[in-house]
Amino acid sequence: MFRGRSVETARLDQLLAQARAGQSAALVVRGAAGIGKSTLLAQAERAARASGMRVLRGSGVETESELPFAGLHLLLAGELHRLDRLPQAQAVALRTALGLGTGAGHGEGQGAGGSGSDRFLVGLAVLTLLADLADECPLLCLVDDAHWFDQESAATLLFVARRLGADRIAVLLAARDEDAPAFVTPGLAELRLGGLEPAEAEALLTELAPALSRNARELILREAAGNPLALGELPALQREDERYASPYGTVAVPMHSRLLDTFARTAAALPEPSQTLLLVAAADDTGELAVQLAAAARLGAGLADLAAAEQARLIQLDQGRLVFRHPVIRTAVYQSATSARKLTVHQAIAAALDGHPERADQRAWHLAAAATGPDEATARLLELSAERARARGGFAAVTAAYQRAARLSPGAAERGRRLVEAAQAACDAGRLDLAEELAAQAQGLGEPLVAARAVRIRATVADEQDRSRDAHAMLFDSALALAEQAPERAGALLFQAAQAAWHAGDHGGLDKSAARAKALDLPGAERIAALATLAAAQYRLDGAEAAEAARAARQLLAEQADAGCASGAEAGSAGSPSALRAEIQLGWWHLFGGELTAAHDLTAELERRCREHGAIGLVALAQLPLARTQVMLGRHRDAYATATDGLRIAQDTGQARLRVYLSTVLAQLAALRGDESECHELVAEALARGIAPSTVHAAGALSLLDLGLGRPAAALDRLAACAAAEDRQGVLASLPDLVEAAVRSDQPERGLQAAAWYQQAAAQSRQPWQEAIALRCRALLAGDPALAQAHYEQAVGLHLGSAGSPFELARTRLVYGEWLRRARRTGEARAQLRPAEQTFEGLGAVPWAERARAELRATGESVAPRTAGADLLDQLTPQELQVARLAAQGLSNREIGAQLFVSPRTAGYHLSHVYPKLGITSRTELARLGL
């Protein structure tokens, strides 16, 4: 009976109607066991089919929750013949994830992200597959008991749900609120089901059990608390003495426990062979009748024993599969069985699976469930299962299998090795707390190299969680312990320790790492020393000699990174994630050295390659230096599109540190626009973390905002505090702002040190654009008018002859024009102020453009703000701009979708908005715009 859910039904009807109209959406239905989630999904399925929608249905299975992509396989089982139509890299990734192999003609080597181990490429493949299905007719994807979905399937489905756009797809997920694993769905709408209203509950109970006495009715209504399943089951399952018990003084039992108890008692009343058959079905949970009957036969039960369980309305045979009438019944049967009976059943199922290689993973887990102590043979089977899971990209399953194998390992050495493998997989799966816990267990077991791996994992987690000082200490101690036995590994550990010290702002720890590497003559000592030298230049900002040494150190690090990339290319691994990471690091070294064009071209190419191969996990990593470089080159529109997309990807992939850093890039752009509320919102998380350089970048964005809005004193105080802090990482870019804020606040002496530091950095980089900014700072502070003018003139000339930021050129011209106007040289002032105003206006730097116009008016020139929206591209959203540029290159909607991690239909939807905004009607015209 379906009662009391009119509001919820209307919500689902709206979801389906939107999908049919081309507006995709996803909804998570939450509630307690028996509250009506499954019934609501069944209602949605009937409505969808009645309106001509295609339906894909899946369900989470508790005993398969550790098997990677098991849930996804069930959901897509009827559509696997379509995999050949997917782009090659996507098809290979999805085939591998589902354990189908690459298939003939699908290629073997796929480069970065082109293997099944990239779970985001698997997500893109599923998105493309569902979009293709929805092109034929609107699609509804239903998943019941989603909390039992294996982590890989859940992550894939959530990836798809968050990226639905103009596709005709509705995704409906049901998850239990309690007594089940957490099912976290950030960014998705939720519908929470509570109990039925009293009147509806009473009406339903009357229909289901009209012969109940008043006392029994009141008792059941009170205990059911509006739970529809309880209202249906309690009248039939209660003992006779309970039916007429007093409604007063009865201890309230949680509904889930109450249902478990009633179902367990019903099962216990069955003949023993029927109980055995039920327990086999509950433990195996695949519904494969042949396997279950083979296992049951070993325990003296058979198909004939099914009748009693069917009559008790606990289980039924449906299309050749044993199906429990409700998931709670399976839970009740399994949980109420004694440990001895469970062990016997798992042994029987494992025996029945022997000789079925396609079910090797399930057999290993059943053997593990039947183990009563250390069992090396089963541990080895679990290890093989873990490696099969790794090949499919199932890092959560790898963790579970190695963790269980470790418990079954008789010896400490094998236990430690397997725990390290489990910890590494947990780290790869993003389960950082579990990774640290497992690595800590492994650290005291096994031989030193295994312990070193454990330390490295713990340190990686600590560093990612902003506990970089702890990471440095762990790595440093581990490196010293390994120095004699494994110098190569010790050198690598010390380099990672030095990087952690850099992240923590611990320059003492960094120097200590470099000194110890040199004293022990470890491989890579030169690289660690270079890192320490370069960090010293950023932290301490003192001494021309140190600045020159830092330049040489940066050059060494860049050359070694470049050599590493080249050797990776020669070895055929240039497209591997590790090789791409090395190239991204090379992009950072170019950026640190002020080589903006080289940094931009490299990171833009890396972003393209990551997209091409579907390596979404690395895209945001490349987008961060790319966006920063685009800002510095004055490509603000591009920077906004890059950082916005990177922020979305970082949120999808759980890359918290990248998300914060990209937010500070967007905050800087908001500051340039004068958007105060957005700037403050974007820096909030960075400031709350309190970790440089993101904190310094956040302070820099706020100070740039203050300068633009005429609040130099606030900018000065904030930047002076950053420059005086022990950890000054990232402050270099804001030192010119500090100098200008000091001068405009009539406190030029507070800018002298900052100008000197920036001058050293400019000398180190030898980049004309940076030398120009340094000259502007010197001009602002110069007391001698002739010297000030010479510095201004030289600065403008260097700006014009370099590939630096047009915004910085405009700032130099602005302050030079202001200086000339105050000297009453109005004609010369206008010559600087006019191009400054035009540049600011073109960049959308509204407060800066207004400041230039105010100066022009002060010279006697009449000037008004330009008409807003003069540039048609300003009307495009960041994603529309990305789609337009790819379409202008001749890419199809399918190819655009693959690069931007959206469906082809969504790419086409964005393109349909681009045409009218740009006043064109075709891709041919789009290509002519030179985007």
pLDDT over threshold 80, residue 254? no
pLDDT tens per residue, range 540-575: 555 554 455 555 666 666 565 555 554 444 444 445
Helices then strands (H, E): number in the chain? 46, 7
Query: Quick one: pLDDT at residue 908?
Result: 84
The dihedral of CA 684, 688, 689, 695: what is its sign? positive
Helix residue ranges per DSSP H, 354-393? 360-370, 376-391
Confidence band, pLDDT 50/70/90 cuts, at residue 852? very high
Select the more confidently predicted residue: 584 or 106: 584
pLDDT over threshold 70, residue 772? yes
pLDDT over threshold 90, residue 906? no
pLDDT over threshold 70, residue 430? no
Query: Quick one: pLDDT at residue 885?
Result: 84
In 3D space, the residue among 666, 724, 669, 714 whose CA is nearest the CA of residue 692 turns out to be 724
Cβ neighbours of 433 (radius 10 Å): 10
Query: Quick one: pLDDT at residue 252?
Result: 39
Confidence band, pLDDT 50/70/90 cuts, at residue 2? low
Select the more confidently predicted residue: 729 or 6: 6
102-121: b or e for each residue (b if 16 or more CB lie within 10 Å)?
Answer: beeebeeebbbbbbbbbbbb
Query: Quick one: pLDDT at residue 61?
Result: 78
- Region of poorest pLDDT, from 92-106, 380-394, 517-531: 92-106
Q: Mean pLDDT throughout 476-492?
A: 91
- Region of poorest pLDDT, from 66-80, 204-218, 791-805: 204-218
Cβ neighbours of 768 (radius 10 Å): 18
Query: Quick one: pLDDT at residue 255?
Result: 52
Structure tokens at 370: 């039947």
What CA–CA distances, in Å, run from 461 to 426, 477, 581, 662?
A: 10, 17, 18, 21
Confidence band, pLDDT 50/70/90 cuts, at residue 220? confident
Confidence band, pLDDT 50/70/90 cuts, at residue 109? very low
Cβ neighbours of 775 (radius 10 Å): 24
Query: Quick one: pLDDT at residue 243?
Result: 39
In 3D space, the residue among 456, 468, 438 whose CA is nearest the CA of residue 494 turns out to be 456
pLDDT over threshold 90, residue 814? yes
Residues 6+ apart with CB under 8 A from 826: 820, 859, 860
pLDDT over threshold 90, residue 664? yes
- Show me where the domains of the chain are located: 6-192, 198-252, 266-361, 872-927
CATH match for 872-927 among 3.40.50.2000, 3.30.70.600, 1.10.10.10, 3.90.1170.50: 1.10.10.10
Question: DSSP letter at 96?
Answer: H
Confidence band, pLDDT 50/70/90 cuts, at residue 323? confident
- Amino acid at the residue 587: G
Q: Mean pLDDT throughout 819-824?
A: 94
pLDDT over threshold 90, residue 716? yes
- Amino acid at the residue 32: A
pLDDT over threshold 90, residue 288? no
Phi-psi region of 137 (alpha: psi -120 to 50; beta: other; left: phi over 0): beta
Cβ neighbours of 571 (radius 10 Å): 10
- Amino acid at the residue 314: L
Which residue has tokens 């001698």? 784
Select the more confidently predicted residue: 253 or 392: 392
Mapping DSSP onto H, E and C, the string for 183-246 reads CCCCCCEEEECCCCCHHHHHHHHHHHCCCCCHHHHHHHHHHHCCCHHHHHHHHHHCCHHHHCCC
Task: Note the Cα 350 to chain centre separation in Å.
Answer: 37
The span from the first CA to the last CA of the chain, in angstroms, equals 59
Query: Quick one: pLDDT at residue 576?
Result: 57
The answer to whether 3 and 109 have CB atoms below 8 angstroms apart is no
In 3D space, the residue among 616, 638, 611 whose CA is nearest the CA of residue 627 turns out to be 638
pLDDT over threshold 70, residue 26? yes
The answer to whether 185 and 28 have CB atoms below 8 angstroms apart is yes
- Amino acid at the residue 365: W
Q: What are phi and psi of 596, to 5 degrees?
A: -65, -45
pLDDT tens per residue, range 498-511: 888 877 777 788 88
Question: DSSP letter at 311?
Answer: H
Cβ neighbours of 338 (radius 10 Å): 9
Q: What are phi and psi of 54, to 5 degrees?
A: -80, 145
Structure tokens at 747: 């406190």
d(CA 115, CA 576): 10
Query: Quick one: pLDDT at residue 400?
Result: 85
Structure tokens at 11: 């919500």
Residues 6+ apart with CB under 8 A from 517: 491, 494, 495, 524, 525, 528, 529
Half-sphere exposure of 356 (CA within 13 A, CB side): 16
Cβ neighbours of 539 (radius 10 Å): 20
Confidence band, pLDDT 50/70/90 cuts, at residue 103? very low
pLDDT tens per residue, range 594-634: 889 989 999 999 998 887 766 666 788 899 999 999 999 98
Select the more confidently predicted residue: 528 or 540: 528
Structure tokens at 221: 């209504």
pLDDT over threshold 70, residue 444? yes
pLDDT tens per residue, range 182-209: 888 887 899 998 888 888 888 888 888 8
d(CA 434, CA 443): 14
Which residue has tokens 């980049």? 767
pLDDT over threshold 60, residue 129? yes
Structure tokens at 538: 């950023």
Select the more confidently predicted residue: 247 or 351: 351
Query: Quick one: pLDDT at residue 251?
Result: 34
pLDDT tens per residue, range 33-77: 888 898 899 999 999 999 999 999 998 877 677 777 888 988 998
Q: Which of 382-391, 572-581, 742-751 has the highest mean pLDDT?
A: 742-751
- In terms of C-beta density within 10 A (0-12 exposed, 13-18 middle, 19 or more buried), how is residue 17 classed? middle
Cis peptide before 625 (omega within 30 of 0): no
The dihedral of CA 714, 720, 721, 722: what is its sign? positive
pLDDT over threshold 90, residue 248? no
Domain 6-192 has CATH 3.40.50.300: yes
- One-character DSSP codes across 813-860: HHHHHHHHHHTT-HHHHHHHHHHHHHHHHHHT-HHHHHHHHHHHHHTT
Query: Quick one: pLDDT at residue 249?
Result: 32
**Strand-strand pairing, 189-192 and 25-31:** parallel
pLDDT over threshold 80, residue 108? no
Mean pLDDT score of the chain: 84
- Region of poorest pLDDT, from 149-153, 567-571, 811-815: 567-571
